[in-house]
Structure 1
Amino acid sequence: MSSARLRLVAVLVVLGSAALLLSWVTTLDQPPRADVAVHDLLWAHRDPAWTRLAGLVTWVGSIRTLVPLLVLVLLVRPRTSRPVLHAGWVLGFFGLAVLTRSVLQPALGRPRPPTDGILADGPGSSFPSGHTLQIVVALGLLLACYRPAGRGARTLATVAALAVVSLVGLSRLYLGVHWLTDVAGGALLGAGVLVLWWATGPWRPGPAGPQPREQPEDPARRRGVSR
């Protein structure tokens, strides 16, 4: 399969899955059993120390944390000969993630979990989880743009990113501001934004540093005359 077809298939699969999830959520009159079961389980095991920790972890997925982080990384390690264009693409796709959350939450209007179980500020509707969507896109973009050298380092960075995403999603569930399907939807939509970014690969800036110049052809050799 060619690279162009692979990108098209990936875009269709991820966006199609997101569309199916969205259509399913809009038909729900009440939360699915899995949502209620996870919410009740975490509610039954709440502890003041864990609540404080969850409150700190959830800030990792906040815009107030991620935007300065992305800007700082882009300034410190541009790694491209066109840093302004590169920064525009990265921040633009992160902005797409924020826009997706800002449009879908009021459009779908899904109620949040019971207010007596909410331990953090959760304005707006419930689906999708904006923190989960944003952390998936932010870390995905950083991994794609700043891949560590060596397979082992890349694997470690990927595992660490997945762990952070999981912890942020879990913190949203623990604090009672989202259902399980909200977090799953945020992760899926974040993957969709990353797939769209990957599909625009030919437009991404190339590596930094001067490119090797092509040596001019020897006129004598071009005429077929040996020197």
Structure 2
Amino acid sequence: MLLSSSISAVHATATEVFTEAATADVEIAGLVIAVGLVAAGLMLRIRRDRDGATVFGALGYAFAVLVLAVAVRSNGWLTGADTAVAQWFVDHRSATLDQLSIAVTTAGGPAETAALGLVVAVVLVWRTKRYGPALVLLATVATASIACTLLKLIVARGRPPQSVQMMLETDPSFPSGHVTGTASLLLMLALIAGTRRPRAVRMLLLGIAIALAVVVACTRMYLGVHWLTDVGAGALLAACAVTLGSYALHRLDSPGDGTDSTPPRLLMNRISL
């Protein structure tokens, strides 16, 4: 009897919390906090405080994912555009885009992402004779994927209606595993490949990685298997993991006090594109 009463009380409390969180004011406030944390991280990065920048940046992205998760779980204000965006993609389908989307989403699947990550890790070890960068790459993608799987189980969001799905998927929808995996892998590859490159080249590589991740996100919505908030959360989750992965890469060659006051030893001194 006591256990049953406790469970009922917890359920009632959770329901009340989710109901309150569904309001626009609460969700906007949550996003403002998340943006503020990320902005603080960027400011600390400019001041060459790598430790502080990593902590605030990762917390900001993680908090944004939490805000979206609560909004999705409570059918909150932030989910308001999901249906309209899904319908827009359905209305703009064509035979050519159908084939292209299926090809892109297949290439960016969890198994394909894992296989590509392993291949890249092997190449990194072969070219650099170092295991550290390869292990960081694999750990970053694996951490993002595991976190994504756990969130799927916790939030337990349903997929879009099967009537709009071009590829039947019935497992939980939030967040998008395709976006989480491909974005974390592509961004880490861009960071590693950009080592020793001019700033313009590094920005170009990051831009390409982001663009490819956006393409994957669009194909998931185009195929009718994810909502807008699903792919958004996947991108934020990948950003959180990559923030930590980038810091780990930095620490491999700069085991100092967390600042960039002294030039770090070049990470990839034997790799070239």
Compute the TM-score of the two structures, normalised by the length of structure 1.
0.82
Match of 2:25 in 1: none
Match of 2:68 among 21, 34, 40: 21
Distance in 2 between residues matched to 1:29 and 1:195, nearest whole Å: 28
- Helix, strand or coil for the counterpart of 1:204? helix
Higher RCO, 1 vs 2 (CA within 8 Å, ≥6 residues apart): 1
**Aligned in 2, Cα 1:138/1:74: closer, same or farther, shift over 3 Å?**
same
1:196-227, Cα deviation, whole Å (9 max, x unpaired): 223434543673569xxxxxxxxxxxxxxxxx
Q: Where does residue 244 of structure 2 map in the other structure? A: 196
**Which of 188, 211, 220 is residue 172 of structure 1 equivalent to?**
220
Unpaired stretches in structure 2, ≥5 consecutive residues:
1-43, 254-265
Q: Relative to 1, partners in 2 of residues 1:89 and 1:3: Cα closer, same or farther, differing over 3 Å?
A: closer
Deviation of residue 30 (structure 1)?
9.7
Give the partner amino acid of 1:101: C
Which of 159, 162, 165 does residue 115 from structure 1 map onto?
162
Could you tell me how far apart the structure 2 residues matched to 1:160 and 1:38 are? 24
Q: Specify the structure having the higher radius of gyration (Cα).
A: 1
Report if aligned partners of 1:109, 1:127 keep a CA contact under 8 Å in 2. Answer: yes
RMSD over aligned Cα, in angstroms?
Answer: 2.3
Aligned to 1:55: 102
Q: Which amino acid counterpart does residue 150 of structure 1 have in structure 2?
A: P
Q: Are 2:98 and 1:98 aligned? A: no
Instruction: Give the secondary-structure state (helix, strand or coil) at the position aligned to 2:65.
Output: helix
CA distance in 2 between partners of 1:164 and 1:123 (Å): 25
Residues of 1 paired with 2:169 and 2:228: CA distance? 15
Residue 155 of structure 1, CA deviation: 2.7
CA distance in 1, matches of 2:82, 2:97: 20
After TM superposition, the structure 1 stretch with the greater mean CA deviation from structure 2, 166-175 or 196-205, is 196-205
**Separation of aligned partners in 2, 1:93 and 1:4:** 17
Is the partner of 2:81 in helix, strand or coil?
helix
Distance 1:69 1:170 in 2: 21
Provide the residue aligned with 2:41 in structure 1.
none
2:72–2:79 Cα contact (<8 Å) kept: no
Shift of 1:73: 2.1
C-alpha distance in structure 2 between counterparts of 1:202 and 1:158, whole Å: 17
Residue 65 (str. 1) matches residue 128 (str. 2): no
Deviation of the 1:10 alpha carbon: 1.3
* Residues 124, 30 of structure 1: alpha-carbon distance in 2 compared, 3 angstrom cutoff: farther
Alignment equivalent of 1:126, drawn from 167, 173, 179 = 173
Once residues 191 and 162 of structure 1 are traced to their aligned partners in structure 2, the CA distance between those partners, rounded to angstroms, is 10
Paired residue type of 2:148: R
Distance 1:122 1:30, change over 3 A: farther
| Percent identity of equivalent pairs | 28
- Do the aligned residues in 1 keep the contact of 2:173 with 2:226 (CA within 8 Å)? yes
Distance 1:12 1:101, change over 3 A: closer
Contact persistence 2:176–2:226 (CA under 8 A): yes
Compute the displacement of 1:180 (Å). Answer: 0.5
Structure 1 residues 36 and 208, CA, compared in 2 at 3 Å: closer, same or farther? closer
Deviation by residue 1:131-186 (Cα, 9 ceiling, x = unmatched): 01111100111112221622333232222112111110000000000001101011
SS at match of 2:111: helix
Q: Distance in 2 between matches of 1:176 and 1:156?
A: 31
Separation (CA, whole Å) in 2 of partners of 1:75 and 1:201: 17
How many aligned positions are there? 209
Q: From the two aligned structures, give the one with the greater helix fraction.
A: 2
Equivalent-residue separation in structure 2 for 1:35 and 1:209 (angstroms): 46
The Cα of 1:112 is off from its aligned counterpart by 0.8
